[in-house]
Structure 1
Amino acid sequence: MAPTPFEHGLALAWSDGALSRDGAIMLETLQKQLGISDKERSVQEQTWLSEISKSGRRSFGDGDQILREWLEGLNDRESLAPIARSMGRASLDVGLSKSGWKEAFQFAEGLGLGEDLASGVWLEKEAETLGQWPAALDPLAIILGLVISVPKVVEQQNTELVDGTAFVLIDHPDAKPTHLSWMPDLIPVNNEICAWGWTGDRDVSTGAPQNDFVYCNSVLIAWIRRLIAMRHQRGESGLEGLPEGFQVMPSSCELSRDGTNLKLSMIVDLGENGLVRPWASVNIDKTVEINPAPEGLGPNWVNIHDGLANLILTALDTLPRQLLQASGLQTDYSNISVQDGWITHDLG
């Protein structure tokens, strides 16, 4: 299990087997910077000291300078935030397991950078390509497995293609499908162009439109469910603005189309008040616009409607970027449209 930021500070302070007075003062400073309670600190210290007591201690706290440099590096949170986003994005290139993500997010959350790391992983905000990072984020880089893989360029290995129906198609000479750690059931399939399909014998209900970049509604639904699951893992509500005590059921997600409108609905558990299926829709015509909530809804229902609508916006913004990045393309996309169960984009 990866250490917490405070445990990392303890490791630096005790790096020679002893704790000096300066080291103790800096640990007090670190506790305040991280915003952890005395009780939380006590639990972490007891665990750490029980381990270090198994080895002999020397007489001087030589780790003070290292701890001091690390503390100084943590002072500038504003400059660390974009780097954390870039580290999140880079972790997709080297592969991010569920356990690795959990440990990395726990450490980043301890530094107050959890949201930035998550937005980089899920491309919810723009993230620059990762080059170097400050020493303050070395522990996070180690947890994410970036120390060896970044900034070196990793050679793309040939991906084994299987026969299957394409649910994602990217018509670009440089696009190559790869295995997706963030959606493992969507696998590279044989096709004249870059393509992914679902495992098993699933088939599409309508043929793919002839556009540069298309993906089926089932892929968008799976991505929406994934976004909700990741929010839950981060300790957040599945929907923005969801009243306390309400729970969304991502497995109940449904998408339907009415002309250029795309409607998302899902079951919400109201506790003692039972289950409901609220919905929200967006209009897709080269750009995406939220359709306003129906008139007469109460404030809580408007919040749920807007949360669903914003979830569609986030999914339609992040999914194409994830797929293009997985294909090896660094190109823009535009002119989004919805056609018979498919979302389409133009490239370039």
Structure 2
Amino acid sequence: MRLQAEDGDEQAAIRAELEARAVAGTLQLDAILALSPAAPSSSEFDFLSALGPVQRQQALRRLLALLRNEEGLHVGDASRLADVSSPNFYRLRQLWRGRAKSGLGFLSGYAGRPTRQPRGVGALGTLGKLAAENSAFELADRSIRGLSKLIQEEQSARIPAYTLDAAARHLRQNARNMPDVLAARYGFRILIDYCAVSLVASGSDGSLKLVEIAWVIEETTQLILAARPVLDVGGCVGQQRATRAARWYIGRCGLDVPGPPAAWIKAVVPDPVSPLDRHHVDRMVSVAGEEHVATTGARRFGRLVTDVIGPILGRIKIIPRATLSENTSAANVRAFGRDILDHQSIRARVAQSVIAHNRPIIDMLRDSRLPLLDAGDRTGTMTSTLNDLLLRKG
């Protein structure tokens, strides 16, 4: 039944019906949005397709409660309608008021969280001291292991490895975002990787497997140019598709810089299982150079993406050692990927995590002095370099 808001008692009846549906878990987006002419458009709720039925209803309850609160429903009643505590409802309301900038993904527990300083890093006053004592270019080129060791040497107490690595990544990224480093490096270092993540896919035959993602990343800024779940093809074909998607993304968003195909590439490729796969590997080696392409070794997967982005993207855990294992019973998968998802939901969930990750990076790039090309311009250095990697042009 499609609900339409009208005047008087009819409106009260509609609101009562919606609240009953919230309790029953049968809310529909269009019916909620019909409450208010100032409500967001349905096109802003694409992230709902990434959710399971329970999480989708949770998000819709929160949306209904926020709209009802704007109409005058008391916070206590609105929080009960949203099925959250009053303090959490105030937090939701604050995010709702800032939705023009941050989007609506906060309605869902699976939405990517805003980029922020890693936990524990703020307590390390050493970072400012190290940033002042070393050039930005030197810090930008250091390894995470080297920076972690440097930070620990400045501390009197032992620091957990996770916090150290997060602090090192934070220190290095701040250096890479400095204007001089950005101007010299952006667009000239591309990483191509392949690894498993903490999402479980269901196949048409009922089988389960871990999702593997083909990654393309601009190293200097952490900008994810493509993160394509490989669901219905082999890994090498998936990387070709990710490369094509990355080229399209750069052009559509106007994120490239002028220059010939001179980007430095470092890549990890899956094992080839067909002649077409072999052509992909050979092309990667030919363009990037044999010394920059990892073709063997089970531990090669995911090392590039975890070094730059870290072990988690939003709420998706990156689990390199599970690549090609199809081990859906691993503890880290149970913790982060309890839901078994269809292919459409997997693609949507990954896409929303990438959008949340990229948003502050894109804002920073557009506020910089970089000579970014116009959207649609295919002559830039990253676009040209990625084009060289493709077996099929166009």
TM-score (norm 1): 0.30
Name which structure has the greater RCO, CA cutoff 8 Å, separation 6+.
2
More helix by proportion, 1 or 2? Answer: 2
TM-score by length of 2: 0.28
